[in-house]
Structure 1
Amino acid sequence: MSRKYLIFALAVILTGSCRNNTAEISGKIENPVPGEYLFLDELKSNDLISVDSIMISGDGVFKFTRAVKYPSFYLLKINQKNYLTMLLTPGERIKIRTEHDSLNFPSEISGSEGTELLVSYNRELLKAINRLKSLSDIYDRNIGKPTLPSVIDSLDLLAQSYLNEINRYTKEFIDRNITSLVSLMAIYQQVAPNVNVIDPSRDIAYFQKVDSSLYSRYPHYDQVMIFHDKVAELTARYGEPGTDTGGPDKRMTAPEISLPSPAGDTIKLSSTRGSVVLLDFWASWCPPCRTENPNLVYVYELYHKKGFQIYQVSLDKSKEAWIRGIREDHLEKWIHVSDVKYWNSVVVPQYNIESIPFNYLLDREGRIIAKNLRGDALQRKLAELFK
């Protein structure tokens, strides 16, 4: 190839590369205020950096282009209270239609899966915030009334119920999107100042799960590095998973479970006495659970003949999805039970389950000897027990 054509080929390659790394944000603001500015800010470390701005035109049409090397968080902003959080990926073409006063909840959005997920999550978060605010309004209306103490008791119960609901929704959102940076944004959310949706003192394992997934994929992204350091600090403060006091204590006999199998017959947990048992809580809709299942197949094949059994309890809400998950992950060889009631399953309060995957390792007498062992940690523990 001649030097002339080589230079031309390189120019084409480089031009194509630049184009692929360029994200485009375009759309229309309904009922615009001409003369106002629309800003594009990048979230860098712990600061927002303004990277571009345009004056809003009379027809509300706008367009930004931005060179993006890897998935990054940006804000499309009119002011400090009216903005849209976006997860921009190289090559994306985001199209937005929104009212002037509700940029954070556009009526139409396409072209960016990450941004669409963030908008969807923020809608649910806003519902929770509004429900909690309504309780605060009820409290204000009852100040000075003799019934206030009983009203407070009722409001506390409702508030806890609302918090539990958004906590579970957020955990499921993270589980479904554990490989995406949207999980990083979700785990930081609050429903009020200093009221975290996911509290690290109770759910340190979720912070570690997000860190483990994202740090392996985006080790050079500053937001992920900051989070990685934060999780190390939180782990030092709150301990490793399994050191919490929630659920049955170690050396305690695991509470009885008696639930239907896929075939419809009832199988009790106590029927496994005489074997070392992994009591595992999972669901077909839970990606981290499905990721761990091949490890369960491996250890079952390795130790079943030596006296190892798995009693797997599903939090599925559909029997068909539950059975399909068992079949797809090749889990047919061990015990499966479920009442198919999702988070309303009887085992959730019985075992204080706040997230899945979740498990206990039981000795041959049905006593708890370990909690939340997965991957290499489970393999090491079983190797120790069956040596």
Structure 2
Amino acid sequence: MKKYLILAASTLLLAACSEKPGYEITGSVSNADLNGQYVYLYEYGVKDAVPLDSALVQNGAFVLKGSQNSPALRTLRFSEEAVEPARVAPGENAPFMATFVLENGKLTVTLDSTSTVSGTPENDAQKELQGKIKGLRSGIDKLIADMKSGDEKLIEQAEAKYDEIDQKITEAVVNYILAHTDKQTAAKNLYDFRYNIGEDQQNEIISKADSTFKAVPGISYMIDHLNVLKKVAVGQKFTDFEMPDAKGEMHKLSEYVGNGKVVLIDFWASWCPPCRAEMPNLVKTYKQYKSKGFDIVGISLDSKADAWAKGVKDLDITWTQLSDLKGWQNGGAALYGVNSIPHTLLVDKDGTIIAKNLHGQDLEDKIKEVLK
């Protein structure tokens, strides 16, 4: 009898050892209208991806089980018919949607107006960061309302506070990324905050990142973009290109740059509100310094000639304007790594780039300095 008991125990032990490790996702959904709907699991960052799995929401809950060979970014969401897609600020999950690291273990998902995932160290750390970001943004709506108030003093105070909050959020995100340069959530945060994190910090992060980090969708694009920016960094000579003016006549950038004048290369578009807001400053600066050795070359990212021409007229732009009317596919913008506008480069008399993205008083002060 004892022999049979030992044999049975051995069989059970072998069976347990042969079981594959797996994950179990226990989810809750706060919106009762989503009962009877399916929530789908997708590979993150893949356009038109086919769902990897799905679960029916019943009584505000769902369960997904499976096995994951290695941690991978995944997204849980409903169909667009069930939940309309919404744009959210960087670092946040859209309503009733969550991007997380799928790995073996017990995960808890809350799909709500602000969704969260927890249960493993990486997901817990990401949830903590999201909580910190949410706390910092708690007063943003009032600040935005104040910025639309029409009260100049209130607007100035609100803008200063908004910038302070934005800086604190970016610092928190950068600290998280630098502490997790081998984690996929950190890579996703870098991509999501790519317009907030400076070029130097991005290069620092990439230099410390491992292959898992660099394999996350979007990171290879960022690396390529950073390599382009190195070619047009401060201290480098400007990169020449050819582009038509409003009459269709071709001109090289070198006709205007590197010929003894200090030149501002201004990437802009008539449809860009920040560009239009900055233009009166440029008009004023141009009028003040054009006779002293200063010039501007505007590179428009417009795609319609009439809109471009109207913008030039309405904004009282009198300096050289070039555009291939290809919008964000503008050839010059690609050479200079432009992914947001306005984007400016100040080039010295000999064609050396001496500053980037200076505006308002900062630009005027630099022009005064180099024209002495």
Q: Which range, TM-score by smaller chain?
A: 0.3 to 0.5
What is the TM-score with the length of structure 1 in the denominator? 0.46
What is the TM-score with the length of structure 2 in the denominator? 0.47
Greater Rg, structure 1 or structure 2?
A: 2
